[in-house]
Structure 1
Amino acid sequence: MQNLFSNYLQSISSKFSYEETSEMGYRTDFEILLKGIFESINVSRFDHDARAKQGNKPDFVVIHHDVPILYIE
């Protein structure tokens, strides 16, 4: 788990120095971090909410036994 956080911090730190890096520039790194955390505690699925309407979409949804248990914005 410590490697997971170290890798995340290293990756976002390398991008932070570029002025043009936006929120979307960090999204993949954040997704990898969250997947690693939730997979380590046996959450069945980590995804995007496909049923959400445009404009009201959370960035990520954590699903356990087909039930959304956490929305992450």
Structure 2
Amino acid sequence: MKCPECGKEMRNGYLFCSKDGAFSFANEVPGVFTDAKKADGFVKITEVKPSHRTNIAASICENCKTVILKY
């Protein structure tokens, strides 16, 4: 997929919330007993926020089902 902002190829993967509450991205979602930091293609998106709901600013197009965020 080409990035709508720069036109470069985007990497497909998964945005997920780890058991410590931080958002991360990886090529595959790690299992519940796997250290998320060891997942192939791991990128930390947010810091751990104990007792807080993790959030990140994003934009969505409900027409084409695209979500874009910056970390």
- Pairwise same-fold verdict (TM > 0.5): no
With normalisation by structure 1, the TM-score equals: 0.29
If each structure's strand is expressed as a fraction of its own residues, which one has the higher value?
2
